[in-house]
Homo-oligomer: A and B are copies of this chain.
Amino acid sequence: MPTLRVELLEGRTLEQKKALVQALTQAVVDTLGSKPEAVDILLFDIKRHDWATGGVQWSERK
């Protein structure tokens, strides 16, 4: 049943996303004892001008 939402700065490759969801699912299975099929993961790509830390968008950072 656990559902994970992951917000990432855009730019990850499909390979990275594939590895990420596998590793996160395994982490839930290992620590909570969930069945793998019960784990849902949703990834959200966030554009660099849509994420700000300290009032500064990541598109403005070097």
Contacts of A58 in B (CB 8 A): 1
- A3 surroundings in chain B (CB, below 8 A): 3, 6-7, 40, 42
| Closest-CB distance, A57 to chain B (whole angstroms) | 6
| Oligomer: number of copies | 6
- A52: chain B residues at CB < 8 Å are 21, 25, 40-41, 43
Most B CB contacts (10 A, CB to CB) among A9, A23, A56 go to A23
Query: Which A residues are closer than 8 A to B by beta carbons?
Result: 1-9, 12, 14, 16-28, 30-32, 35-46, 49-58, 60
7 more A-B residue pairs beyond the given contacts A23-B30, A42-B46, with a C-beta to C-beta distance below 8 A: A19-B31, A21-B52, A25-B55, A26-B55, A35-B54, A43-B50, A45-B50
